[in-house]
Amino acid sequence: MGLAIAITQVDAFTDAPFAGNPAAVCLLREPMSDRWMQSIAQEMNLSETAFLLKQEDGYNLRWFTPAVEIDLCGHATLASAHVLWSEGHLPPEIKARFHTRSGLLVAKQQGEWIQLDFPVNLSQQIDIPPQLTEALAGAAIDEVWQSSLGYLVALDSEKSVRELSPHFGVMANLPVHGVIVTSLADEASHFDFVSRFFAPQMGINEDPVTGSAHCCLAPFWRDRLHKSEFLAYQASARGGVIKVQYEGDRVYLGGQAVTVLRGELLA
């Protein structure tokens, strides 16, 4: 048995424990095999486990669900930056630089918030796929757009988003990896829009808070609300708050994070 490897569980996009989206962050001393990282993600059984390996100009960062490796993950990147600063691996004034499948991602501290610099993900409008209507249990769909992340579905109200109960067996057979549902927030709310994200093909029926989905939602809502800064709420059972700013080909995502567990991997 080799040396123990530090692993930390962080609740991201929340300022309180047991809310937001939990991610495990594993700080590696040396490269590990894909099979080993996938096994650890399966063992942790969270929506994502992040693996960090220090390199000359920042950190190599990879993300695994319990089923697959993915190209981009917001909450596990937020959790990774939080771990680097809170555990003394980086001074607070130094930006965290992550080299990933989606290029260089940068995080910086802004008071009690962390801001992530992510690439925008543009969508194209499509006809409503009949199987999608079935997967969303007959919800009243206003329009459907498609990006590399999957379908972006506009519903008629926040109530429809919150009360949606998808058929995950049907959704798992859609020709896309994920489904975002969104609507304007209720008028009495201080949020601009709400959303939820489902990805049964990736081993996650519902992701509690999804940073990468907001890379699609930012341009979608910019075109409808005619502004580029938003306060968004992901209306999962755990819930999470995201500050969203859209500039050119980048989306800046702001969130908070809380450490809930520290441990060691012995195997």
- The residue from 30, 43, 48, 56 that is catalytic is 48
A 10 A CB-CB count for 228 gives 16
A 10 A CB-CB count for 21 gives 31
Residue 149 neighbours by CB under 8 Å, 6+ apart: 121, 176, 177, 178, 180, 212, 213, 215, 216
Whether the CA torsion 172, 121, 105, 107 is positive or negative: it is negative
Catalytic site includes residue 48: yes
Place of tokens 């992530």: 116
What's the CA gap between 194 and 267, in Å, rounded? Answer: 41
| Region at 246 (left for phi over 0; alpha for psi -120 to 50; beta for the rest) | beta
Where helices occur in the chain by DSSP H, the ranges are 34-44, 74-86, 130-135, 158-163, 168-171, 211-225
- What's 185's DSSP letter? P
Catalytic residue positions, numbered: 48
